Structures are given as structure tokens and as C-alpha cells.
Amino acid sequence: MANISIISGMNDIIDRYDGFIFDVWGVLHDGLSVFDGTVDVLETLATKDKQVVLLTNSPNRMHQIAQKLENMGIKRSLYKTIVSSGEAAYRALTERTDPFHASCGTKCFHMGDDVFMQALYDAAEAGAIEIVNSPQEAEFVCVSNPRGMHLDTDYLQKELEDMLERDMPLICLNPDVVVRIGDELYPCGGGITDQYAEMGGRTYYHGKPHNPVYETAHHLLGVQDKSKILAVGDSIRTDVTGGRNYGI
């Protein structure tokens, strides 16, 4: 097991690294407001010419996330770019370059709140998918953050069983199991996708801890030596596991 060092803050280790990959929700803000010291750290990194990429399991597209951060007081000049699971899903659905997404068909049902549908709306606008109103009409399902929707366990189990019987693919736009907003915890798509996978269903996860988003973030960061990159997150399941598996 690697030695674990206890630090008092980012200033203790900033000079060890050239590139930084930060989670967004739970690291920069709590969904409602930016954490104390966040902007100070980002400004310090900028003055030291460090490279910063934000890597998030948000099902939203990068321009939506950038605008939310701007509204919270985090300027776009404080990071190079954003890599999100929603952006990855949009590209996969429109490009269809891998066997899983190529096999999904075009009729898509979204399991989640409408506020998380921008990636799917944009994919539909591009002619890559058709959004339908029920799983029965669909050829595949995308799950984002259901919050209060589809959480009745009997109802959810029945839907997943019906999907399994039809061998329907399930695409996860947010592999997190829960997200904290202020002081409250809300469910995310990862738990539902895990349940479907355990039933034997075909699944694909966009986001951490899976390597493709780390490969994208690493490429955009522009720092080749992984030993000179620090990844910061708040989740053992996604951030720590993903970073270690990728070699950061």
C-alpha cells in the first residue's frame, strides 16, 4: 500500500505537479455555492502556470457546466477545459464509433429529470437519436440523475426486468450513486445501472471511474508524465478508483 501523507492544504503540494484534474461537484462547490478557498487555489495555480482540467460525472454538457461555474464566481480563465460524462455521452451517441453505441438503435428513452437532458436534446437535434416517451417505445435507455423519478423499487424492478427481456442497452450518463446538494443526498444513475448490470443487462458507463474520460482529460491537460499530474475528488468509488486505475 502506498504511503499516505496528511497535508494542511493545496499549497503544501502545488509545486510537485504540473497538471491538476479536479472533480467539480463536491470539490469546487456543493451544488449551491463555491467552497471557501476554491477560487484562491485556482488563481494560485494560474499564476504558477499550472494546467487545470475539470473532470465531472455531470450528465450536462461542458458549456452548461462552465456557465454554472461562471455564475458561482469561477471564471473560465481559471481552467483549460471541462470533461463531463454528459459530453462524452453526446459524442458517443452522435459518432457511433464503438460497437456498444453502434448497436443501440436510435429510439431513446431518458430515465431522469428533464433538466439533465441537454446532451440527448442535442443528439436528437443532430439526427443521431429520437427521444421517445416510454421504455416500451425505446431501443435503448439513458439514465442520468432521477432524483424523485423512477425510485419506487417495485416499479423500477419491473421496468428493468422488461428492459432485460428485450435485451435493451442501458447507457449511464452519471456513474455516481448519490450526489450531495447542500446538506441533502440525491440518487444518481450509477445505482440503477449497477442494478441492471447485476441482472445481466447490457450497460455502458460514461464518466469516472472508467478510463475513457481520464484519457480525454489527460490529452487535454497536455502534461504527458502521469507522475506530474494530481487528481482531486471526493469519492472513493469514482475519483480515487478512477485516478489510481489510470495511473495518476
Tens digits of residue pLDDT in 145-179: 876 554 566 778 899 999 999 999 999 999 998 77
With vertex at residue 116, the alpha carbon angle to CA 70 and CA 173, rounded to the nearest 5 degrees, is 105
Structural domain boundaries in the chain:
16-86+208-246, 91-205
Kindly state the cell numbers that stand for 57: 460525472
Kindly state the cell numbers that stand for 232: 482531486
Average confidence (pLDDT) over 12-41: 96
Question: Across 9-13, 19-23, 108-112, which has the greatest mean pLDDT?
Answer: 19-23
Q: Give 20's pLDDT tier (boundaries 50, 70, 90).
A: very high
pTM above 0.85, yes or no: yes
Kindly state the cell numbers that stand for 196: 441492471
CA atoms within 13 A on the CB side of 161: 6
Kindly state the cell numbers that stand for 67: 456557465
Integer angstrom CA distances of residue 168 from 86, 109, 210, 229: 20, 11, 21, 38
Residue 31 has pLDDT above 80, yes or no: yes
Average pLDDT score, the chain: 93
Say what the pLDDT of residue 150 is: 46
Q: Which of 4-18, 35-49, 198-212 has the lowest mean pLDDT?
A: 4-18
Q: Give 183's pLDDT tier (boundaries 50, 70, 90).
A: confident
- Which stretch of DSSP H or E encloses residue 44? helix 38-47
Residue 5 has pLDDT above 90, yes or no: no
Residue 113 has pLDDT above 80, yes or no: yes
Share of the chain above pLDDT 90, in %: 81
Residue 71 has pLDDT above 60, yes or no: yes
For the domain made up of 16-86+208-246, give the CATH fold.
Answer: Rossmann fold (3.40.50)
Kindly state the cell numbers that stand for 181: 446538494
Say what the pLDDT of residue 124 is: 98
- CATH topology of 16-86+208-246 equal to that of 91-205? yes
Share of the chain above pLDDT 70, in %: 96
Average confidence (pLDDT) over 130-149: 89
| Omega within 30 of 0 (cis) for the link into 99 | no
Task: Compute the distance between CA of residue 140 and CA of residue 137 in angstroms, rounded to an integer.
Answer: 9
Average confidence (pLDDT) over 99-110: 97
Task: Compute the distance between CA of residue 148 and CA of residue 180 in angstroms, rounded to an integer.
Answer: 14
Task: Compute the distance between CA of residue 41 and CA of residue 73 in angstroms, rounded to an integer.
Answer: 13
For the domain made up of 91-205, give the CATH fold.
Answer: Rossmann fold (3.40.50)
Say what the pLDDT of residue 137 is: 97
Within 10 Å of residue 113's Cβ, how many Cβ atoms? 15
Q: Give 95's pLDDT tier (boundaries 50, 70, 90).
A: very high
Task: Compute the distance between CA of residue 55 and CA of residue 87 in angstroms, rounded to an integer.
Answer: 11
